[in-house]
Structure 1
Amino acid sequence: MRTTKDRIRQAVSFEVIGLLIAIPLAALVFGFELDKTSALAAIGATIATGWNYLFNLMFDHGLKRLTGSTRKSLKMRFFHALSFELGLMITFLPVIAWWMGIGLVEALIVDIAFVVFYLVYAFVFTWCYDTVFPDDDASLS
């Protein structure tokens, strides 16, 4: 199992790198002002960072209980990324609508775009992170 320090490093690095990519991309694609998009992304990153820590802790405990290890197969990595993003999407939708001053349908489109981006990003980032900072328990299986 990962240490608290490692989980914090993972969550913070995930969000910082993601923001550096997502903010200019979202502003460009949706035609939003960069400052308003940056603030929205900061709000989302704050929500996501807390969710990232809690979700990964719960996921690893559940995985270890079910399989005896925290090692993730390719199929499990897809499930991990999808379930993380669905939980976050439900929370972030009303925030997008309120902050950007748009309706729920428009906010849903923005939210889905963020989800698609972060689904791919979460999969790639987590795989890279696990490669650079392997979990000793995961290497046992």
Structure 2
Amino acid sequence: MSMRSFPDRVRHALLFEAIGLALVIPGGAQLFGLPASHMGVVGVGSATVATLWNFVFNLGFDHAMHRLVGHTRKNLATRVLHVLLFEGGLLVLLLPPIAWYLGMSLWQTLLMDLAIVVFYVVYAFLFNLAYDRVFPIPAPERMAAA
């Protein structure tokens, strides 16, 4: 079975969140007219939840994919499905606490979050394509020899 190792999954999750935060905190503060400190709390809190979700979701997705199709190689259609399911789950996890923290209604928070989701859908798609190229899954024979 060709799957990513535990250290590779940790590297993936941490790189994804660090780069995402570096982009979304200043961009979100500017776009939504929020103090950078508020966007920072939302960003860091969201990144913490997202990091855990990223690890759990990707592990589950790969196991499901391996069980359903016998491998974990992701083509374009699979990557689109992957990112949409990931972001949908993350939205369900994050919307209530963000609305509470910012003192906004769920509807207002959803509208604000949709802009962030659009950013992260595009970012996740591009990040994962790049990650797969920079850190390819080792061939099964190389994994067995290691």
Flag whether TM exceeds 0.5 (same fold). yes
Aligned AA (1:47): V
Once the two structures are superposed, residues 22-56 of structure 1 have per-residue CA deviations (whole angstroms, 9 ceiling, x without a partner) of 11111111100001110110000000000000000
Aligned equivalent of 1:27, options 26, 29, 34: 29
Hey, what does 2:12 align to over in structure 1? 10
Of 84-93 and 101-110, more deviation after overlay is shown by 101-110
User: Who wins on radius of gyration, i.e. which is larger?
Assistant: 2
Aligned pairs, how many?
Answer: 138
What letter matches 1:34 in structure 2?
A
> Could you tell me the percent identity over the aligned residues?
48
Q: Where in structure 1 are there 5+ consecutive unaligned residues?
A: none
- The aligned runs of 1:97-108 (5 Å cut-off) are 97-108=99-110
- Whether the aligned pair in 2 keeps the contact of 1:96 and 1:111 (CA below 8 Å) is no
Tell whether the 8 Å contact from 1:78 to 1:123 is kept in structure 2 after alignment. yes
**Distance apart, 1:65 and its partner CA:** 1.1
Supply the distance in 2 between the matched residues of 1:26 and 1:61 (Cα, whole angstroms).
Answer: 34
CA distance in 1: counterparts of 2:139 and 2:77, whole angstroms: 19
State the distance in 2 between where 1:86 and 1:137 align.
31
Q: Which moved more, 1:96-105 or 1:74-83?
A: 96-105
Q: TM-score, normalised by structure 1?
A: 0.95
Look up the match of 1:130. 132
- Larger CA deviation: 5-14 vs 108-117: 108-117
- CA RMSD, aligned part only? 1.1
Deviations 1:45-80 (A, max 9, x none): 000000000000000011111111110010000000
Counterpart-to-counterpart distance in 1, 2:25 and 2:90: 17
Counterparts of 1:131 and 1:88, CA distance in 2: 25
Cα separation, partners in 2 of 1:114 and 1:137, compared to 1, 3 Å:
farther
Which whole-Å CA distance do the structure 2 matches of 1:90 and 1:42 have between them? 17
C-alpha separation in 1, matches of 2:96 and 2:115: 15
| Distance apart, 1:99 and its partner CA | 1.1
Bigger mean CA deviation after superposition, 76-85 or 65-74: 65-74
Equivalent residues of 1:15, 1:45 under 8 A apart:
yes
Q: Distance in 1 between matches of 2:104 and 2:79?
A: 33
Deviation at 1:137, TM superposition (A): 4.7
